[in-house]
Amino acid sequence: MWDILTQLGAGFLACLHPVTLLMLVAGIVVGLLVGVLPGLTLVMGVVLFLPFTYKMEVTNAIVLLSAMYVSGTYGGAFTSILFRIPGEPIHVPLLWDGYAMARRGEPARALGWTLVAAFGGGMLSAVAMVLLTKPVASFALQFSSPEYFAILLFGLMSVIALGKGSLANALISLCIGLLIASVGTDATYGSYRFTFDQPILADGIEFLVVMVGAYGVGEVLSRLEYGFSSKPLDKVANARTQLPSLGEMVRLKGMFLRSTLLGHVIGIIPGAGATIASFVCYGVESQFGRRRREMGSGVPEGIVAPQSAATASVGGGLIPLLALGIPGSGATAVILGAFMLHGIQPGPQIMVSSSAMVYTIFASIFIGIAVMCVLGYFAIRPLVAILDFPEAIVSAFVMLFCFVGALAIRSNTVDLWLMLGFGVLGYLFERLKFPIAPLVLGVILGPLAEESFMNAMISFSNDWTVFFTRPISGTIMALALLTMALPLVGMLRERRAEASGALKPAAH
Beta bridge partners of 185: 192
Residue-wise pLDDT tens digits, 228-275: 665 544 555 556 777 888 888 888 888 889 889 988 887 877 656 677
Tell me if 467 sits within 8 A of 150, measured CB to CB: yes
Residue-wise pLDDT tens digits, 346-375: 877 777 778 888 889 899 999 999 998 888
Q: Is the pLDDT of residue 150 over 60?
A: yes
At 87 the pLDDT is 62
Q: 30, 118, 12: which is closest to 68 by C-alpha?
A: 30
What is each CA distance from 162 to 36, 159, 165, 173, 426, in whole angstroms? 25, 5, 9, 13, 18
Beta bridge partners of 326: none
- The stretch 316-339 carries a mean pLDDT of 81
- Rounded to whole angstroms, the Cα distance separating 3 from 226 reads 56
At 370 the pLDDT is 92
Cβ-based neighbours of 156, under 8 Å, separated by 6 or more = 174, 438, 441, 442, 445, 449
Q: 70, 80, 15: which is closest to 45 by C-alpha?
A: 70
Please state the φ and ψ torsions of residue 193, each to the nearest 5 degrees.
-135, 125
Residue-wise pLDDT tens digits, 463-499: 888 888 888 888 888 888 887 777 777 777 777 777 7
- Within a 10 A sphere around the Cβ of 295, how many other Cβ atoms? 21
What DSSP letter does each residue of 189-239 carry, written as one string? T--EES-TT-GGGGG---HHHHHIIIIIIHHHHHHHHTTT-PPP----TT-
Tell me if 440 sits within 8 A of 429, measured CB to CB: no
Most confident of 199-203, 335-339, 433-437, 498-502: 335-339
48 DSSP 8-state letter: H
At 185 the pLDDT is 81
Most confident of 82-86, 118-122, 315-319: 118-122
With 0-12 / 13-18 / 19 or more C-beta atoms within 10 angstroms meaning exposed / middle / buried, residue 388 is exposed
